[in-house]
Amino acid sequence: MRQRSSERLVLVLAASLGLLVAVLVTPAVSQAPDYPTRPITFVVGFAPGGGADVFARGLAESMKGVLPQAIGVENRAGAGGTAANAYVSGRPADGYTILFAHAGSSIITPLITNQPTLKWDAFDPVARIHGEEEWLFVRPDAPWKTVEELVAFAKANPRRVRVAGSAIGGIDSFVVLSWEKAAGISLQYIPHEGGGPATLTFLGGNAELLVGNVSEVFQHIEAKRMVPFVVASEKRSAIFPNVPTLKEKGSDVVYAQWRSVLAPAGTSPSRIATLTVALQKALSTESWKRFNTNAKAVDLYLGPADFRRFLVSEEARLTRIIDDLGLRRR
Amino acid sequence: MVGNLLAGFASALDGWGIVVMIAGVAWGIIGGAIPGISGAVAMALALPYTFGLDAATALVLLAGVWAGANYGGSIPAILMRMPGTPGAAACLLDGYELTRQGRAAKALGVSLVCGTIGGLVSIIVLIAMVVPLGNVVLAFASPETFALALFGLTLIAGLTERSFLKGMASGFFGLLLTTIGLDTLTGSLRLTFGRRELLSGVDIISIMIGLFAVSEMFWQIAHPKRGAVEPVGQAHTAFPTLAELRSVSRATVVGTIVGIIVGIMPGAGATASSFVAYNEAKRWSKRPDLFGKGSMEGVAAPETANNAVQGGDLVPTLALGIPGSNSAAIMLAALILHGIVPGPFLLTKHTGLVYTLFAGLILVNLLMIPVGIVILRGCLVALKVAPPVLVASILAVIVIGTYAADLFILNPVLALAFGLVGYAMRVYGFSPAATVLGLVLGLLAESELRRSLLISYGSWAIFVTRPISAVLLLMTLSVLLYPAVMHARGRRHSRLAADHAAGGSGSS
């Protein structure tokens, strides 16, 4: 009896101690094994069916089985993608709401629309995933065989050469505007609501050049309706290694349509680590590799620290260009 | 081709095919009927469920949702003056009048049958001519789309019978509203007043619902006897007879042609097609005087057209791999996610898949009738609800629906505010319909005009040197001048007649 009561005392003490420890330690201990315990939402700032949306869905599909929880894709289109930024930045920083971002939605649009609180630095970078190179295309009957010939023609005939591309403020327009500045030429840029309509204007003979990604036009290249002319990347592309870069032609114009993942600011490093590990696993799955190849995208993975460094320098570079072009509101 | 199509039918009907199609059509109709869920959103919501399916079944499911949503938008438009999708705005002009006259089921039936016919014919045209039409797409560029938008805007004249000036003012008010937002052509901000919600412009569907539905609810509250829908009799639930359907055949033909052509044109879609079809059906009708006062043809033409857009939209989508609309973009997204790269080789590299889609499109359009009738029977119950309860419920649905679409609190506020604006317009004889027309065509007209001038290096001659654009502008001009000429001729005739009568009486 005596023994039993002392046993009980020990048990009670142990239990209360355990409870105390549990209460004190819960936030620190529970995260790693307990995340994710419910479905994660990927938020896309653009309408279903667009490049950003397809990318988010492709990635969500490849993460099936990598994480114990399902991943849903939610479209919050509007305000040039920044409606999604506003939504995600207001969500709890618990790793369950993740933002899909690219240069346009996380740097350029917040800058030119004067919404500094929605820029990338209002979030915690998780990873840069992949990117598409920026190309200039001509039709097979184009009179210029080389970049030099085109530049000479454009110099002699300012605003004569028409370039179809997506909206002003997108990467497409930055490629053209930067090239104009670097090569000392003046082109006629024709902005469109997206790459599809721009391709139609170009194929219909209403523009001499098209600027954009290969994925949207690859079959037109195979069908010999257009030819890749020059690429705005650091090195020649693996897709068309015979096509020169703008850089080797003397114009330092390097852009990529990179896509990335951001989390609300204050998300715990351990949850971000869980996400990056899962992302790396997803990127090595067969389904992602096939998706990435079909999209003619280049693997551009950067982890949280490297991605943050990249964003700092990318923002500085894009800010200079935006100010040069006078696009910023004051 | 017939062999391919038969194989397509076999593959579309394989396994759970028919169940998938019925589910797709039913969800499409219901989604389209809910304000805030457009066809593209309804398809996006169905997209995750297609991952477990093979590519062909996924496409057929999405095709069903698409076809259903094109039709579904007209149900609340006809019953409650509330367009479920922007494409249904034109059909409420006469559809809701018919409901007030106790002919709701007739209007809904006409919309269902004509929509189905428009969808089916456009799919058959697509199957027969997708490759040649793919090249036609490239003949349409910004100048042509601008000319089409201008042609559509001439409907403002037709919508305003009392005061032309007030009609124009209403239309320009709509055009003004479209200038709000981030200008995609220059990257500059216009009239956003520092509000993030306004960066991508005002929400067109919220304003439409405000001008049409909310103002009507306010009107019913203020005028409980005159405005209220009369108690339901047998007449309300009677579907149209064959003779009645035959009487709208001319409008159906007009709607089908307009829908297919506008669908093929890049940039213009279901909304533009339905207004142009409404206008054309009125012009070609034997009873143009009935338009706006409860014309069956006024329901048939826009509803045929916005369903016929489906086939037209799929021409650039399948022939060039460039989506003709947001809905078509989701079809392409489904293909990409299933590992198929869309583009000009889709037809040759994935013939089986494309023909399964063709067969599926025919089947889902046919399934619209039985599925639609079942859903309509349920919707007609709304007419049996007492007006005060109905008004309150509709206002609640409007607030929730407009909020749910983008989760911007500004949108329900816009809907309610434009309810007041619409009410005032009605009191002072302005035309809310003209405002909506300006709103849906304004952005298209503006961006295509500016883009045309960039293409032409600033020369306005581009609109007359390009044949299709020149023809469209000539049509626009003749439509504008025709009433004036007829009016002048009419006056001369009546003066001659009066002279004659005076002379005759003098001689006798």
- Among chain A residues, the shortest Cα distance to B322 is held by A196
Q: Does A223 touch chain B (CB under 8 A)?
A: yes
Average pLDDT for A220-238: 95
Closest residue by Cα to residue B322 from A142, A296, A119, A218: A218
Beta strands at A40-44 and A97-102: parallel, antiparallel or unpaired: parallel
- For residue A283, the model assigns a pLDDT of 94
- For residue B340, the model assigns a pLDDT of 86
Average pLDDT for A37-49: 89
- For residue B211, the model assigns a pLDDT of 96
Judged against a pLDDT cut of 90, whether residue B481 lies above it is answered with no
Backbone angles phi, psi at A129, to 5 degrees: -100, -70
Mind listing the pLDDT tens digit for each residue in B206-232?
999 999 999 999 998 998 864 445 555
Average confidence score pLDDT of chain B: 89
| C-alpha–C-alpha distance, residues B443 and B436, integer Å | 12
Structure tokens at A307: 């991605």
Judge contact between B455 and B140, C-beta under 8 A: no
Q: What is the dihedral of CA A123, A128, A131, A134, to 10 degrees?
A: 50
Using 50, 70 and 90 to split pLDDT, how confident is the model at A18?
A: low
Closest residue by Cα to residue A172 from A236, A232, A222: A232
Instruction: Give the number of other CB atoms < 10 A from CB of residue A90.
Output: 9
Q: What is the dihedral of CA A280, A124, B410, B188, to 10 degrees?
A: -90
Q: A22 vs chain B: nearest CA distance in angstroms?
A: 39
Altogether, the residues listed in chain A come to a count of: 330
Residue numbers in B near A203 (CB within 8 A): 138, 320
Structure tokens at A9: 């005392």
Average confidence score pLDDT of chain A: 88
Residue numbers in B near A55 (CB within 8 A): none
- Residue position matching structure tokens 């639609």: B372
Structure tokens at B238: 């009677």
Average pLDDT for A223-243: 95
Question: Percent of chain B, pLDDT > 90?
Answer: 61
CB contact under 8 A, B343 and A190: no
Judge contact between B143 and B452, C-beta under 8 A: yes
Using 50, 70 and 90 to split pLDDT, how confident is the model at B17?
A: confident
Closest residue by Cα to residue B93 from B372, B373, B304, B300: B300
Residue numbers in A near B329 (CB within 8 A): 47-50, 196
Closest residue by Cα to residue B60 from B301, B328, B361: B361
CB contact under 8 A, B339 and A290: yes
Instruction: Give the number of other CB atoms < 10 A from CB of residue B337.
Output: 22
Residue numbers in A near B402 (CB within 8 A): none
Alpha helices in chain A, H assignment, sequence order: 2-34, 51-62, 82-89, 103, 109-112, 147-156, 171-183, 195-203, 218-222, 269-283, 286-294, 304-325
Using 50, 70 and 90 to split pLDDT, how confident is the model at A29?
A: very low
**Range with the lowest mean pLDDT among A12-26, A98-112, B172-186, B270-284?**
A12-26
Altogether, the residues listed in chain B come to a count of: 508
**B198 or B456: which leads in pLDDT:** B456
Using 50, 70 and 90 to split pLDDT, how confident is the model at A31?
A: very low
Identity of the amino acid at B72: G
Closest residue by Cα to residue A140 from A211, A214, A200, A221: A221
- For residue A27, the model assigns a pLDDT of 46
Strands laid side by side in the A71-75 sheet: A71-75, A40-44, A97-102, A256-264, A123-133, A298-302
| Residues contacting B43, CB < 8 A, separation 6+ | A48, B28, B62, B65, B66, B69, B327, B330, B331
Residue numbers in A near B186 (CB within 8 A): 168, 191
Average pLDDT for B400-419: 89
Q: A170 by DSSP, 3-state: which?
A: strand
**B100 or A227: which leads in pLDDT:** A227
Rounded to the nearest 10 degrees, the angle between the axes of helix B387-406 and helix B410-427 is: 130
- Among chain A residues, the shortest Cα distance to B268 is held by A197
Average pLDDT for B38-50: 88
CB contact under 8 A, B199 and A77: no
| C-alpha–C-alpha distance, residues B437 and B440, integer Å | 5
Judge contact between B263 and B125, C-beta under 8 A: no
Judged against a pLDDT cut of 80, whether residue A1 lies above it is answered with no
CB contact under 8 A, B267 and A190: no
- Residue position matching structure tokens 């195979």: A222
CB contact under 8 A, B336 and A58: yes
Question: Which residues make beta-bridge pairs with A190?
Answer: A164
DSSP structure class, residue A293:
H
| Residues contacting B19, CB < 8 A, separation 6+ | none
Judged against a pLDDT cut of 80, whether residue B184 lies above it is answered with no
Average pLDDT for B341-346: 86
Q: B185 vs chain A: nearest CA distance in angstroms?
A: 6
Residue numbers in B near A327 (CB within 8 A): 187
> From the list A159, A200, A218, which residue is nearest B457 (CB)?
A159
Judged against a pLDDT cut of 60, whether residue A194 lies above it is answered with yes
**Range with the lowest mean pLDDT among B188-202, B287-301, B370-384?**
B188-202
Q: A137 vs chain B: nearest CA distance in angstroms?
A: 17
| C-alpha–C-alpha distance, residues A230 and A239, integer Å | 12
Q: B21 vs chain A: nearest CA distance in angstroms?
A: 21
Judge contact between A60 and A71, C-beta under 8 A: yes
Q: Does A111 touch chain B (CB under 8 A)?
A: no
Structure tokens at B479: 């439509």
> From the list A47, A109, A189, which residue is nearest B40 (CB)?
A47
Mind listing the pLDDT tens digit for each residue in B143-178?
999 999 999 998 888 787 678 899 999 999 999 999
Indicate which of A166, A206, A325 best probes the interface with B, i.e. most B CBs within 10 Å of its own CB: A206
| Residues contacting B307, CB < 8 A, separation 6+ | B67, B70, B71, B114, B115, B116, B118, B119, B122, B259, B365
Question: Percent of chain A, pLDDT > 70?
Answer: 89
Closest residue by Cα to residue A199 from B323, B145, B129, B449: B323
| C-alpha–C-alpha distance, residues B69 and B258, integer Å | 19
| C-alpha–C-alpha distance, residues B508 and B495, integer Å | 20
Identity of the amino acid at A121: D
User: Of chain B residues 335-354, which have a CB less than 8 A from chain A?
Assistant: 336-337, 339, 341-346
| C-alpha–C-alpha distance, residues B34 and A30, integer Å | 42
Domains of chain A as residue ranges with CATH: 38-131+257-325 (3.40.190.150), 135-231 (3.40.190.10)
**A10 or B454: which leads in pLDDT:** B454
- For residue B458, the model assigns a pLDDT of 94
Identity of the amino acid at B201: G
CA pseudo-torsion sign B268, B272, B274, B278: negative
Judged against a pLDDT cut of 90, whether residue A115 lies above it is answered with no
Using 50, 70 and 90 to split pLDDT, how confident is the model at A237?
A: very high
Helix (H) or strand (E) holding B393: helix B387-406
Q: B154 by DSSP, 3-state: which?
A: coil
- For residue A16, the model assigns a pLDDT of 56
**Range with the lowest mean pLDDT among A11-25, A182-196, B119-133, B358-372?**
A11-25
| C-alpha–C-alpha distance, residues B290 and B292, integer Å | 6
Judged against a pLDDT cut of 80, whether residue B135 lies above it is answered with yes
Backbone angles phi, psi at B363, to 5 degrees: -65, -45
Backbone angles phi, psi at A100, to 5 degrees: -95, 130
Judged against a pLDDT cut of 60, whether residue B134 lies above it is answered with yes
**B339 or B415: which leads in pLDDT:** B415
Structure tokens at A211: 């600027």
Average pLDDT for A27-45: 75
- For residue B502, the model assigns a pLDDT of 55
Task: Select, from the ranges A8-12, A166-170, B122-126, the one with the highest average predicted confidence (pLDDT).
Answer: B122-126
- Residue position matching structure tokens 């064959």: B242
- For residue B494, the model assigns a pLDDT of 67
Angle at A163 between CA A159 and CA A169, to 5 degrees: 100
- For residue B384, the model assigns a pLDDT of 80
CB contact under 8 A, B454 and A162: yes
Q: B175 vs chain A: nearest CA distance in angstroms?
A: 19
CB contact under 8 A, A168 and B51: no
CB contact under 8 A, B142 and A206: yes
> From the list A75, A79, A225, which residue is nearest B196 (CB)?
A79
> From the list B184, B346, B454, which residue is nearest A193 (CB)?
B184
| Residues contacting B290, CB < 8 A, separation 6+ | B94, B297, B298
Q: Does B141 touch chain A (CB under 8 A)?
A: yes
- For residue A75, the model assigns a pLDDT of 86
Beta strands at A209-212 and A188-192: parallel, antiparallel or unpaired: unpaired
| C-alpha–C-alpha distance, residues A42 and A20, integer Å | 36
- For residue A32, the model assigns a pLDDT of 47
What end-to-end distance do the CA atoms of chain B give, in Å?
Answer: 76
| C-alpha–C-alpha distance, residues A133 and B395, integer Å | 49
Residue numbers in B near A288 (CB within 8 A): none
> From the list A82, A200, A223, which residue is nearest B138 (CB)?
A200
- Residue position matching structure tokens 């257009």: A226
Structure tokens at A131: 């990117």
CB contact under 8 A, A168 and B184: yes
Using 50, 70 and 90 to split pLDDT, how confident is the model at B486?
A: confident
Q: In which region does residue A166 sit, left (phi positive, over 0), alpha (psi from -120 to 50) or beta (all else)? A: beta
Using 50, 70 and 90 to split pLDDT, how confident is the model at B341?
A: confident
